[in-house]
């Protein structure tokens, strides 16, 4: 059995004291593929160091996270563009729109999202979407951009059934993480209506730890708790869900 964490920030400060142990714990539990989303330019040294340390397990993305879209966002985007020309990445992400903390940068977030989608298409790469309180705004752009070249993952999906189907219609897999284990998470109520071919597993560690670790630091080994919930929802063996969701991740990322 091989499991894939399609979204984990293993390079951030929360893992500075025990990063190797955290990764090894995941590998010991058959989680051997880690896809690493970008945040902004300040994190690339740590991302590259992580890749160098675990070259067979770590797969990097590049992109500008919507909460880090500020007045200097075009300078930040130039870093993304430069890296796309210089080396291999497996996705453009995480990108999108976040209106939870601050709505004042909406226009800039929309611009950054569109620009990065265009670059993903140019490079035949998937996008990995961050959406928080912005389904309408995200879908408006995806509707404009939809094409055979548009594909990827709707990371940390927390919408309703109609929104799930709409996201899938734009070529997106749904990234299912710790929220599916929450009593008030809601997606567990309809997920069995979404074919497993449209699902990938993720932790978003160190954030959004699943039950029973909710509120604590998340880590990639907790994929097992998410897997257990999907076993309950889909009534399939864990090995089957692992096989399908890992193949889905290979279909998206090309590796």
- Alpha-carbon distances of 216 from 17, 29, 208, 222, rounded to whole Å: 16, 20, 8, 11
The pTM (predicted TM-score) of the whole model is: 0.97
Q: Is the separation of the CB atoms in 135 and 151 below 8 Å?
A: no
pLDDT of residue 237: 98
Average pLDDT over residues 53-82: 97
pLDDT of residue 238: 98
- Alpha-carbon distance of 228 to 232, in angstroms, equals 6
| Cross-sheet strand order for the sheet of 58-60 | 3-5, 31-36, 58-60
User: How confident is the prediction for the chain on average, in pLDDT?
Assistant: 97
- State mean pLDDT over 187-198: 97
What per-residue confidence (pLDDT) applies to 185?
A: 85
Instruction: State residue 170's pLDDT score.
Output: 98
Mean pLDDT value of segment 240-250? 98
pLDDT-derived band at 221, boundaries 50, 70, 90? very high
**Can you name the residues that pair with 172 across neighbouring β-strands?**
152
pLDDT in tens, 2-46: 999 999 999 999 999 999 999 999 999 999 999 999 999 999 999
Q: How high is the pLDDT of residue 134?
A: 96
What pLDDT is recorded for position 187?
A: 95
106-153, pLDDT tens digit by residue? 999 999 999 999 999 999 999 999 999 999 999 999 999 999 999 999
Provide the pLDDT for residue 192: 96
Instruction: State mean pLDDT over 79-94.
Output: 97
Q: Identify the structural domains of the chain with CATH numbers, from first to last.
A: 3-253 (3.20.20.140)
Checking if the pLDDT of 102 tops 90, the result is no
pLDDT at residue 200, rounded to an integer: 98
Measured CA distances, 81 to 54, 94, 141, 253 (Å)? 25, 14, 20, 19
3-state secondary structure the chain: CCEEECCECCCCHHHCCCHHHHHHHHHHCCEEEEEECCCCHHHHHHHHHHHHHCCCCEEECECCCHHHCCCCHHHHHHHHHHHHHHCCCCCEEEEEEECCCCCCCHHHHHHHHHHHHHHHHHCCCCEEEEEECCHHHHHHHHHHHCCCCCCEEECCCCCCHHHHHHHHHCCEEEEECHHHHCCCCCHHHCHHHCCHHHEEECCCECCCCCCCCCCCCCCHHHHHHHHHHHHHHHCCCHHHHHHHHHHHHHHHHCC
């Amino acid at each position: 059995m091989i499991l894939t964490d399609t979204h984990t920030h293993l390079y951030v400060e929360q893992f500075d004291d025990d990063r190797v142990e955290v990764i090894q714990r995941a590998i010991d539990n058959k989680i051997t593929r880690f896809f690493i989303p970008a945040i902004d330019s300040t994190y690339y040294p740590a991302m590259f160091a992580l890749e160098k340390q675990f070259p067979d397990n770590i797969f990097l993305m590049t992109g500008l996270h919507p909460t880090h879209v500020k007045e200097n966002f075009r300078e930040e985007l130039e870093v993304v563009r430069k890296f796309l020309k210089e080396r291999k990445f497996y996705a453009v992400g995480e990108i999108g729109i976040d209106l939870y903390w601050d709505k004042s940068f909406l226009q800039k977030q929309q611009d950054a999202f569109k620009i990065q989608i265009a670059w993903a298409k140019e490079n035949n790469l998937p996008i990995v979407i961050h959406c928080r309180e912005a389904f309408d705004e995200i879908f408006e752009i995806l509707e404009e951009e939809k094409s055979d070249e548009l594909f990827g993952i709707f990371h940390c999906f927390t919408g309703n059934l109609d929104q799930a189907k709409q996201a899938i219609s734009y070529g997106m897999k749904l990234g299912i993480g710790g929220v599916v284990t929450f009593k008030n998470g809601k997606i567990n109520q309809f997920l069995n209506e979404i074919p497993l071919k449209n699902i990938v597993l993720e932790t978003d560690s160190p954030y959004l730890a699943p039950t029973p670790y909710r509120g604590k630091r998340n880590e990639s080994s907790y994929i097992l708790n998410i897997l257990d919930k999907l076993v309950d929802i889909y009534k399939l063996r864990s090995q089957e869900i692992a096989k399908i969701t890992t193949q889905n991740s290979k279909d998206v990322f090309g590796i």
